[in-house]
Structure 1
Amino acid sequence: MIMQKPTDHPTLPARKVGVLFANLGTPDGYDYWPMRRYLNEFLSDKRVIDYPAWKWQPILQAIILTKRPKSSGEAYKSIWNEELNESPLMTITKAQITKLRAALESKHGAEVMVDFCMRYGNPSTKSKVQEMVAAGCDRILFFPLYPQYAGATMGTANDQFFRALMDETWQPAARTIEPYFDDPAYVDALAQSVEKGYAAMDKKPDLLVVSYHGMPKRYLMQGDPYHCQCQKSTRLLKERLGWDESEITTTFQSVFGPEEWLKPYTVEEVARLAESGKKNIAVIAPAFSADCIETLEEIQEEIQEAFIEAGGESFTYIPCLNDDDAHIDALIGVAERNLGGWLG
Structure 2
Amino acid sequence: MTDSTQAARDVLLLANLGTPSAPTASAVSRYLAEFLSDPRVVQLPRLFWLPLLRLVVLPLRSRKVSHNYAAVWMDGGSPLEVHTRRLAAAVQEQMPGVHVEHVMRYGEPALTRRLRELRGQGARVLVLPLYPQYSTTTTASVGDVVARELPDARMVDDYHVDPAWVQAVAGSIRTHWERHGRGDRLLFSFHGIPQRLVDQGDPYERQCLAGARAIATALELPDDAWQATFQSRFGGGKWLSPATDATVRALPAEGVKRIDVACPGFAADCLETLEEIAMQNAGFFREAGGDELSYIPCLNDDPAHARAIAGIATREFDAWR
Alignment TM-score, normalising by the size of structure 1: 0.89
1:58 CA drift (Å): 2.0
Q: 1:127-166 counterparts in 2 under 5 A?
A: 127-133=113-119, 136-165=121-150
Q: 1:307-322 counterparts in 2 under 5 A?
A: 307-322=285-300
- Matched position secondary structure for 1:200: helix
Aligned position for 2:3: none
Task: State the one-letter code of the partner of 1:325.
Answer: P
> Is contact 2:37–2:50 with CA below 8 Å preserved after alignment?
yes
Confirm or deny that 1:179 pairs with 2:168. no
Aligned mates of 2:117, 2:174 — CA distance in 1: 40
1:291 CA drift (Å): 0.2
**5+ long unaligned stretches in structure 2:** 1-5
1:118 CA drift (Å): 0.2
Confirm or deny that 1:244 pairs with 2:237. no
Task: State the one-letter code of the partner of 2:52.
Answer: I
Q: Any runs of at least 4 consecutive aligned residues in structure 1 with deviations exceeding 6 A, and if so which? A: none
Aligned residues: 316
> Is contact 2:91–2:306 with CA below 8 Å preserved after alignment?
yes
1:342 CA drift (Å): 4.9
Aligned position for 1:302: 280
* Distance 1:137-1:79 versus aligned 2 partners, 3 A rule: farther
Aligned position for 2:47: 54
Alignment TM-score, normalising by the size of structure 2: 0.95
1:67-90 CA distances to partner (integer Å, 9 max, x unpaired)? 111011000011111x32x10111
Aligned mates of 1:320, 1:47 — CA distance in 2: 25
* Distance 1:300-1:15 versus aligned 2 partners, 3 A rule: closer
Aligned mates of 1:218, 1:341 — CA distance in 2: 35
* Distance 1:124-1:131 versus aligned 2 partners, 3 A rule: same
Aligned position for 1:5: none
> Is contact 1:210–1:249 with CA below 8 Å preserved after alignment?
yes
1:132 CA drift (Å): 3.2
Aligned mates of 2:320, 2:50 — CA distance in 1: 43
Aligned mates of 2:274, 2:63 — CA distance in 1: 18
1:14 CA drift (Å): 6.1
> Is contact 1:115–1:128 with CA below 8 Å preserved after alignment?
no
Aligned position for 1:331: 309
**Greater Rg over alpha carbons, structure:** 1
* Distance 1:298-1:14 versus aligned 2 partners, 3 A rule: closer
Confirm or deny that 1:96 pairs with 2:87. yes
Aligned position for 1:3: none
- Matched position secondary structure for 1:259: coil
